[in-house]
A and B are shown apart, each in its own frame.
Chain A
């Protein structure tokens, strides 16, 4: 056998059995519900121009004759102060929220994993300590505060918001992967792999990384929710999606000024934010159960 295969066969790395995983996930009906809701939301967001009743309302549209109408069959969530359909805007608003979450996770997870692996596996103490202290510095302030500061300094718009949040987010993954890696560092299957003489990259990707998959996936799912909250919070302050584009946080902020009489302008976008976060959290819980080692 080539030595890579010997090394690979020595690993007790958890292999994910898809059907068993699905069984465990589906045992939790709430998680399945969350997944269903999320799929609907994603589909609706992607197809927004085709399925929303008034796609043109997602922009600088005004119709003052229909302004501030309460919810009705014609406008499920009512209309805003310039007569735009809140329902259509909420669906378009999901586009920005989901895009933000996807971009932040894509930008921050790979460097986080890489640095975590390096810090957890390296034999150079200075490198390990150095990386981990830098993550400490980033985590020394709540992410919202730092993201707020950076977005404000750059100038408020969605792109800057994405960059700012990504900049704040990688240390969480670095810590997670670091803790898994440094605890596996001295396991027998890692030593065995080292003894076969395969390269370090091989050990990291084939022996250690598979053990991080469960925690990382769970965290990503839960973080999608957090990032959406963060983005909505920044937008609420006015540092996100800029009008006339429909950001969910921005809509809540604008609607809040019309409380209590025209409550629908704030309440429905707020409920929409809750719904998407809730479904991510439910899925995350299901994933956590799925990757948990069961006791008999």
Chain B
């Protein structure tokens, strides 16, 4: 059915951070595939390595602390990690883009929205070979982009500085910056975490519509299963630097396999009014000395002997459903 080369394929990615206490083994074999026009979610607790994963793809890990110690990241079949440094900007100006968690921090405080957005558009258009674009054209294109994200009065917004905008408006600006016409893959890192719930919803809908219209693939990172359920087709569950389960989103909610996924699903507050949801006992492990074997076993109710010794590979449960848990061996 789907035989073409995936848009993005992360294979067995390992990333380490060097700190005073020692070496943090943050990513421990991450595998993610995103196909064209696909909407994929990546879910996990805060600190499980979601942001590190997309920073690796974008090649903006903080150096020299962070180091990719293994794995490949293929974009349309070419390994981003072995690309020449001068090839990367072309990728960024063209098909690859991202939205970050904190919209205020990701906008330059001393330039107007128009200056920043216009510059991004200018370089993106130059990259496509469009020549001799006037400032006026860029301005009107920038205003169009803002309008598409549902921003009121875009011409005026172009003249403002980020501090003058509300959180929601800032994130709309960031979405405009990221969603240029040529973008094929958007990495969205918790784009609405810092916003009010009502605005969150508006912005996510808008983002979803735009992605749909343009046929852009999206990797939506979130710690909230609710958001992922509404907006994605397939989902990856991440725990402590590894992917523990992946399947179609609907199937995940109907038939979760991995104990961690099950526990995570139980944390969604129910509307039936049976009090607060249960949490997951224990806490995310220390990356300095991660547990032997499966990293989840100290918190797992169904842990077996083998779980304490060996890290489980992904076991297929059919239908694109994979779970990295010894319970599903053979």
Contacts and interface: CB of A to CB of B under 8 A. Distances in A.
Interface of B: 17, 19-20, 24, 62, 65
Contacts of B24: 296
A20 B20 contact: yes
B17, B19, B20, B24 — most chain A CB neighbours (10 Å): B20
A24 B24 CA distance: 18
A188 interface: no
Contact-residue bracket for chain A: under 10
A102 B65 CA distance: 40
Interface string A31-66: 000000000000000000000000000000000000
B62 A23 contact: no
A286 B93 CA distance: 41
Contacts of A295: 62
A295 B206 CA distance: 34
Contacts of B62: 295-296
A205 to B, nearest CB: 29
B303 to A, nearest CB: 30
A294 interface: yes
Interface string A8-42: 00000000000010011000000000000000000
Nearest to A24: B20
A294 B19 CA distance: 9
11 contacts: A20-B20, A23-B20, A24-B20, A294-B19, A294-B20, A295-B62, A296-B17, A296-B19, A296-B24, A296-B62, A296-B65
Contacts of B19: 294, 296
A294 B17 CA distance: 13
Nearest to A27: B20
Interface in A200-256: none
Nearest to A295: B62
Question: Nearest 3 A-B pairs (CB), nearest first?
Answer: A296-B19, A296-B17, A296-B65
A24 B21 CA distance: 11
A101 B106 CA distance: 45
A23 B21 CA distance: 11
A295 B20 CA distance: 11
Contacts of B17: 296
A273 B44 CA distance: 59
A23, A294, A296 — most chain B CB neighbours (10 Å): A296
Contacts of A296: 17, 19, 24, 62, 65
Nearest to B66: A296
Contacts of A23: 20
A23 B65 CA distance: 17
B257 to A, nearest CB: 33
A292 to B, nearest CB: 12
A84 B305 CA distance: 84
Contacts of B65: 296
Given A20-B20, A294-B19, 9 more contacts: A23-B20, A24-B20, A294-B20, A295-B62, A296-B17, A296-B19, A296-B24, A296-B62, A296-B65
